[in-house]
Structure 1
Amino acid sequence: MDRRQPRTNTKDSRNLTCLTAVALQDHLVKSLGLGKPIGPRNIGLGPAARSRSNKNVRSVIDTGRYKPKPNRTVSAEDEEYVLDPKPAQMTLAQKMGLVAAPQQPLTENEWANVKLKSNNREDSAMPCVICKEDFRTEEQVLLSCTHVFHKTCLQAFERFTGRKSCPMCRKEQYQTRVIHEGSKLHRIKCAVRIQSAWRGYVVRCWYMKLRDSVPPKDDKLRKKYYEEKLEKITDRIVKSCDFNVNFFLTEMDRSLEESREVFRNFDALYKEISDAEWESIQLKAVERGEVDCPICLSGLGLGLESGTVSTTDKQKPSRCKAPHSRHVSTEWPAPKINQKCERKKSAAKQRHTVLLSCSHMFHEICLMTFEELDFSQSRHICPVCRSPYQRKSISF
């Protein structure tokens, strides 16, 4: 028994040595790519062979008979995937432990734990460590060491360094996975900003409406409030009216000038004139020496006192044959002239005379007729000096 056992151990050790040698040789061949592939060769087809192999020929014109079915795929916003390629199948040497086995990909549960650690630190809410910019909607990668970067930034960092190590913790041979936590946070931030802007707009509109409807209590603010109200009403009236702007401005200027004229002549129209002032005004009229009404051009009450006309002595041819004829001076009556003067005198006596505050005198009936016929002026003015007046009846 004792002699056979060493023989058996020797045989087993030989077999184990042979197996180890074969395993190491197979690992070197596969790792260095020295072995020839076993099986049929994959030869690409030319254009003619591809056209013959394409049996499903479809019509160029779409008749609408066959409708494509929508592809129910997961949206790119929610899809997460691993960027690293799947590792090759373990060789015999790796299975026997002769060579270190490659790192196996993380499972979904392990990736969930890694993502949870990163979210607890709020890495996705902070800028990328490489470019110092927010993630927004750009592609974002999560490393197996729980650090987050832009996909393009990490690829540029790997090309620059020439090796695969984490920019934060310097861990090598990490695994990467595309996630969308940064884009989700960016959308939430944009939605919050839009909602805040909209709510601020609604509150401002409500506040402006409240200011338009409720006047403030302060005197200065109340004055400003009513000024803005009047300005808005005026603008609305101007916009609603269709008229010539130049004509409108001209009318405004004319109305303003008339208002100024009214204020300038306010004393002359509404100030009560005393008797002494009336006497001075009447004295001015007498000094002016006007005896006729400027409207009807007839006497104001001072008629002709005599109705006779004196003529010079003339030689009248005598039909008498007497030798002693003399030149005789006679007063010839003028009956027609006397009748005219009498009519003027009686008409002047029937008309009453009025004195204006501007020291002009008219017949009362003439002045009233002039006022009735004057439609162009809003107030009565003197026919001579064109100034507003007050009047007083006088008698000679």
Structure 2
Amino acid sequence: MMIPESHPSGSLPELARRQAEPARWREALHTTLLAWYREHGRALPWRETRDPYRIWLSEVMLQQTQVERVIPYYHRFLQRFPDLAALAAAHEDEVLKAWEGLGFYRRARLFHQAARELVGEGGQVPADPERFRRLPGVGAYTAGAVLSIAFGVPLPAVDGNAFRVLSRWSGQRGSRDDPTSWRQVEALAGWLVPTQAPGEWNQAIMDLGSLLCLPGARARCSACPVASLCQAGVQGLAAQIPAPGRRSPVQERVLLLGLLRHGGRVLVRQRPAEGLLAGFWELPGVELPAGQPVGPDCLARELQGWVGLPVRVLGRRLRYTHRFSHRLWRVELWEVRLRQADPGGPALPVGGGFAWVKAGRLAALPVAAAHRPAMELAAQEAADEDQEDEEPLQGEEARPQAPPVAGEADPQGEEAGAGAGHGDEEP
């Protein structure tokens, strides 16, 4: 197992050289912060174990997502997939269903892929940083956090939270969008991490950033145990350090969805395997730029092309907005009917992941939060219609792989908090 060597005294990282006595400063930080953490650190379920699988799961879930949102998902996910073998054996739809509502679904796919890779090699999470870093979805932060906590490997774990804390300690003013500033902070973090209790040290920085060293003017310097060792705290500059990062403009889009039912079944579509909300199921529709003239005719043309039969739009059934980190969807759900039913029922649309699904099976499909209100209305109304005699349909019916997950998924926007650090709020 390769462990990075500590910086020798003659090659201190640049941010450490700003201190009058770097070695004493580091020792004081270790002693003071670890004592504070051992008394005031948060009691979190993943801190009750040294199981690397569970620690790894928590770190993946906590990326850009607040701790309070993660806890119920963490428990439910472990009930369904208690170890690497159970996760590796699952179909991707099952994994996405368990993740439904937590957001940033690429995390779940990569975690699933990594589990399958490790089970193929014997089913153990590697303690070797080089091997662990080669797994899908594992970067420097995840490797540092998991290996330091689970195995005691002295690696730093620098995310948005840690970047803010270490920038303030050292007086580093650049934003985390600046590669030079990020490299400087990473070098400082590597020099600071102790060989003894590196996991506690990294978790102490996480908790300091989440509880006291908050973004901007919310920093609680008066309660900080290391305020006297912090350049920003001593100089009264916590609100200005680090500089704020760049924010991408929010793209506003209109999403027209069609509720097309026939014989107790609903027409649904699975999104492509790559891209936004990849692999999730939704009602078919069309996405258009905001400000462009839109109306039910646009939706009718799309649906008519997919079904191969004339359709008519009856009226709008639902309207709501959904906010991502980088876009705003204005969603409209429209009731759609076939103008004339084929005696044998409408054919299954060709390609594009379409399927006619019975109302009772809609709940088993993984559905992103942006589409859940529309899908829930479709399931309820199709279930009511299902009380009547069903008509036969041509083509195969979708057979979802995932069973419903116990408990309710979080209904909030699935990409809330994008750009934030580990279990953090948006800066």
* Fold conserved between structures, TM > 0.5: no
* TM-score, length of structure 1 as denominator length: 0.16
Higher RCO (CA-CA < 8 Å; seq separation 6+):
2
